[in-house]
């Protein structure tokens, strides 16, 4: 049965054995199992903390949370009453339709419109659609944002990001193609309390120490590899990527982070953070990522 829907989640199954599970809560993907071209055995590719809450009372610590309309703490007047990373990951989305169901894969669409709880803290009209597609070795997620205002000049300004928790050994994982890109290092602040702007010198970025980096003008094409496995991340219309791992320094302070969980994931998060997207009334914006399970091996040199 390629698509099974229960009260609070959707299960996608591919004829060749891969699968994905997403909660209607936050449209959060909480499992993606896939093999590679070389080894078809499906393996869990996402990290979800064993302490994660999945009952809809708080954002899931792991999987692929959807970040919208703000990344991090709100910094825009429209977002001042929102929590960190906005509301999309904390609202119940509606199962809208099956987009595709054939031998190539399965795809479903979830939607989110202003609810009473959203409108109490965010006044801009919008329509969101989240489209998830499962293929044999790939998982793609698209976020469609529509400015539903009918008032010319009513601009929707937002940030959007896929907060991917990739299951990987933080001691050995490397992320490629960021060399010479500028990034904000959020682990170090200036006297004014702002993140330090740096230039990446490494061909393979590691997360062996506490890492919280927001890359500018990012390539949108990343290989996340370690000795035993890897994920290729291809994004579209997402000019930033965040690399995050709290290590014990910050991870031990996260209440729903399992003991030592920081050793078992790296967050590689394609997004549109800087500048804000500015969407005119009636217009649509789409941000997409395609995750592909690949074989391991040191393609990147540290």
Which residue do the tokens 């801009």 mark?
Answer: 124
| 60 vs 132, beta carbon nearer ligand TA6 | 60
Least CB distance from residue 301 to ligand TA6, whole Å?
Answer: 26
| 45 vs 85, beta carbon nearer ligand TA6 | 85
| 105 vs 130, beta carbon nearer ligand TA6 | 130
Residue 172 interacting with ligand TA6 (CB under 6 A): no
Secondary structure of the chain in HEC code, one letter for each residue: CCEEECCCEEEEECCCCCEEEEECECCCEEEEEECCCCCCCCEECECECCCCCCCCCCCCCECECEEECCCCCCCCHHHCCCCCCECHHHCECEEEEEEEEECCEEEEEEEECCCHHHHCCCCCCCEEEEEEEECCCEEEEEEEEECCCCCCCCCEEEEEEECCEEECCCCCCEEECCCCCEEEEEEEECCCCCEEEEECCCCEEECCCCEEEEECCCCCEEEEEECCEEEEEEEECCCEEEEEECHHHHHCCCCCCCCCHHHHEEEEEEEEEEEEEEECCCCEEEEEEEEEEECCCCCCCC
Residue 163 annotated to the active site = yes
Instruction: List the catalytic residue out of 163, 223, 232, 272.
Output: 163
Q: Which of 206, 223, 258, 269 binds ligand TA6 (CB under 6 A)?
A: 269
Q: Which of 110, 218, 242, 273 binds ligand TA6 (CB under 6 A)?
A: 242
Least CB distance from residue 63 to ligand TA6, whole Å?
Answer: 11
Residue 269 annotated to the active site = yes
User: Residue 244: beta bridge partners?
Assistant: 212, 267
| 135 vs 242, beta carbon nearer ligand TA6 | 242
| 19 vs 164, beta carbon nearer ligand TA6 | 164
Residue 243 interacting with ligand TA6 (CB under 6 A): no
Q: Is residue 298 annotated as involved in ligand binding? A: no
Residue 72 interacting with ligand TA6 (CB under 6 A): yes
Q: Is residue 284 annotated as involved in ligand binding? A: no
Least CB distance from residue 79 to ligand TA6, whole Å?
Answer: 14
Give me the residue whose beta carbon is nearest to ligand TA6: 244
Site for ligand TA6 in 204-233 (CB under 6 A): 212
| Active site positions, annotated | 163, 269
Residues of this chain that interact with ligand TA6 (CB under 6 A) are 59, 72, 84-85, 163, 186, 212, 242, 244, 267, 269
Binding site feature residues? 61, 84, 89
């Amino acid at each position: 049965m390629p698509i099974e829907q229960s009260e609070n989640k959707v299960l996608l199954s591919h004829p060749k054995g891969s699968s994905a599970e997403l909660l209607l809560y936050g449209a959060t993907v909480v499992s993606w199992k896939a093999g590679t071209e070389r080894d078809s055995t499906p393996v869990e590719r996402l990290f979800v903390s064993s302490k994660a809450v999945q009952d809809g009372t708080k954002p899931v610590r792991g999987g692929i949370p959807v970040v919208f309309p703000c990344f991090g703490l709100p910094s825009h007047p429209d977002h001042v009453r929102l929590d960190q990373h906005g509301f999309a990951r904390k609202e119940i989305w509606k199962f809208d339709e099956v987009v595709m169901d054939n031998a190539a894969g399965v795809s479903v669409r979830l939607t989110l419109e202003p609810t009473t709880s959203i409108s109490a803290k965010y006044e801009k009209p919008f329509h969101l659609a989240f489209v998830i597609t499962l293929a044999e070795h790939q998982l793609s997620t698209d976020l469609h944002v529509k400015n539903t205002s009918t008032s010319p000049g009513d601009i929707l300004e937002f940030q959007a990001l896929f907060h991917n928790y990739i299951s990987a050994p933080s001691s050995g994982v490397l992320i490629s193609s960021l060399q010479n890109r500028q990034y904000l290092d959020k682990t170090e602040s200036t006297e004014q309390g702002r993140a330090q702007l740096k230039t990446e010198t490494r061909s393979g970025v590691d997360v062996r120490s506490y890492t919280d980096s927001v890359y500018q003008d990012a390539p949108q094409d990343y290989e996340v590899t370690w000795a035993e496995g890897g994920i290729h991340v291809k994004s579209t219309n997402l000019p930033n990527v965040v690399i995050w791992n709290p290590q014990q320094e910050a991870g031990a302070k996260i209440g729903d982070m399992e003991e030592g969980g920081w050793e078992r994931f790296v967050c590689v998060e394609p997004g549109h953070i800087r500048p804000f997207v500015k969407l005119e009334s009636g217009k649509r914006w789409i941000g997409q990522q395609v995750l592909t399970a690949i074989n391991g091996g040191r393609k990147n040199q540290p």
